[in-house]
Amino acid sequence: MTNQNVVVPDAKQGIDITIAMVLPKSLFSPVVPKPLPAAPGGYFTITRKRFSKKTETGGKISSWVDSMRDSSPTRVKSTTSLSETEEKNSWIVNHPSALNMFEQIVKGSKGKQIVMFLDYDGTLSPIVEDPDRAFMTNEMREAVRDVARYFPTAIVTGRCRKKVYSFVRLAGLYYAGSHGMDIKGPSKNNCKYEKGGVLFQPASEFLPMIDEVYNVLLERTKSIPGAKVENNKFCVSVHFRCVEEKMWAILVEQVRSVLNDYPKLRLTQGRKVLEIRPTIKWDKGKALEFLLESLGYANSTDVFPVYIGDDRTDEDAFKVLRNRGQGLGILVSKVPKETNASYSLQEPKEVKDFLRRLVEWKRSSLQGQRRA
């Protein structure tokens, strides 16, 4: 662990600002005082002398509310006078439909093993007001089942692993819940890990803390109409989809006040949800890498990973694929958004169509091989 302090004097304002940069060298970050929201891998703790604490806190809350107004990932903000249609057409050029580019996609996978990674909410199921009723259709379940017959397939979600399994109800898949902090899958001969299937829980020590925070948040948010707190085992989700916007600042303030007592936890944002997670260097991108390694494709050039997701948290996986120079990411969105994905699909129905087309292509390829 390295700790670097940079003191910047401001003669005009009479303010000294000390920025402490804490850069973890291991998986688990040590305790740091009252961390600000930051990307995985580091925290920035800022101390201001003679600076209004009330003003500082208000600024943080305002920033969170502004972020909550944006869709996830962040919607592209046009710097020109382009109309919405022109803006979308421009975005589509850089993120074309995976359905329209299907032939090019499968051509790029020639001679390689396709491995499928699928987010759940907003990808396999529609986004709904009640997260407990985010059911996938039978047609989608059949499409996922058929894909898993031909390609190793994983569901990677922020949900509790057992919860998402109760929605999907398909054996033979890998399930990575809690943003990849709870991974389990079917027993495979080529899997390097536990005989009963992949089982990896890098944040096990945080379980008592997560349960405690969940119960505190239930109490603190019960006065905010529409707020729903969900225990996803290794993280806690605070859904605000049904909360009036005028109450968002109060909700964020309540959540942050709870986290002040838990410096080993951090606050992040997803699609209409605030999420409390352990301060470990683990996310959906790390889960993708772990699963590829468990399947024997850690350093292989013969693998073609395809990750489909709609949320800001899926960007970690899209970045991994870009950095590896292998496979591709597909963002599910009806509006232009900043993303590291290469292709796009508009909604779960198009995801289902893409999966079905992938199965038809594979079946046709196998039949051609048999005839040959």
Which H or E run includes 148?
helix 138-150
pLDDT value of residue 12? 37
Q: Does the N-terminal peptide bond of residue 225 adopt cis geometry, omega within 30 degrees of 0?
A: no
Q: Which of the following is catalytic: 16, 119, 283, 302?
A: 119
| Residue range(s) of every CATH 3.30.70.1020 domain in the chain | 205-278
Number of helices (H), then strands (E), belonging to the chain: the values are 10, 15
Number of residues that this document lists for the chain: 372
Q: What are the residue ranges of CATH 3.40.50.1000 in the chain?
A: 93-202+283-371
Query: Please, which residues have CB within 8 angstroms of residue 200's CB and are 6 or more apart in sequence?
Result: 182, 183, 184, 193, 290
Phi, psi at 225, each rounded to 5°: -55, 130
Which pTM was predicted?
0.76
Which pLDDT value is given to residue 186?
Answer: 84
Token couple for 35: 């961390």
Q: What is the CATH number of domain 205-278?
A: 3.30.70.1020
Active site residue 314: no
Looking at domain 93-202+283-371, its CATH architecture is: 3-Layer(aba) Sandwich (3.40)
Averages of pLDDT over runs of 10 residues in the chain (372 residues) are 41 38 37 39 34 45 68 57 79 95 96 97 94 95 98 96 95 94 75 58 95 96 95 95 92 94 92 92 95 92 97 95 95 94 98 98 88 70
Task: Look at strands 15-23 and 182-184 and give their pairing.
Answer: unpaired
Question: Which residue type sits at 74?
Answer: T
Residue 88: the pLDDT is 83
Greatest Cα pair distance in the chain? 82
pLDDT at site 22: 39
CA distance 54 to 91: 41
Report how far apart, in Å, the C-alpha atoms of 97 and of each of 82, 120, 235, 321 are: 21, 20, 33, 18
**Residue carrying structure tokens 């048999």:** 370
Structure tokens at 186: 């079917």
Spatial separation of the C-alpha atoms in residues 332 and 119, rounded to whole Å: 10
The answer to whether the peptide bond before residue 73 is cis (omega within 30 degrees of 0) is yes
